[in-house]
């Protein structure tokens, strides 16, 4: 059984990108997370200890995304997925969407970004 916790629209200012001005000034990114886990125990007990704290997930994802400057969104999203797996043993899979609404593209566009889906490796 796998249930889903979702957190959408986390806005983070970071310095990711290939171009020099992206790493100097930075820009706004938006992260969406979908976390797969068995939530049946929490559904029965109503105890926070039996689930995953949304606040802790956001803090972990934000730190992983901001603490290092990456050239590629793919790497930044991968760092978020890695940090979530390291911090939360209950999480079986994670989907990380990173939006870069102000990407330096010579076109009018609504959004651009990456979506990574990762499953926890078996020990």
The catalytic residue positions are 100
Query: Assign residue 77 a region: left if phi > 0, alpha if psi is -120 to 50, beta otherwise?
Result: alpha
Axis-axis angle for helices 73-87, 54-66 (nearest 10): 140
Tally of CB atoms within 10 A around 117: 12
Q: Comparing C-alpha atoms, which of 20, 26, 11, 31 is closest to residue 79? A: 31
**Where do the DSSP E strands lie in 15-112?**
27-37, 93-99
Phi/psi at 31 (5° precision): -115, 135
């Amino acid at each position: 059984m796998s249930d889903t916790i979702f957190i959408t629209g986390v806005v983070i200012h970071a310095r990711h990108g290939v171009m020099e001005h992206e790493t100097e000034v930075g820009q706004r990114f938006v992260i969406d997370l979908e976390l797969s886990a068995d939530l049946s125990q929490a559904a029965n007990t109503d105890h926070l200890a039996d689930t995953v704290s949304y606040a802790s997930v956001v803090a972990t994802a934000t730190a992983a995304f901001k603490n290092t400057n990456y050239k590629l969104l793919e790497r930044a999203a991968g760092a978020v997925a890695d940090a979530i797996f390291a911090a939360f043993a209950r999480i079986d899979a994670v989907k990380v969407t990173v939006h870069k609404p102000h990407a330096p593209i010579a076109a009018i566009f609504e959004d651009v970004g990456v979506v990574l889906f990762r499953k926890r490796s078996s020990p």
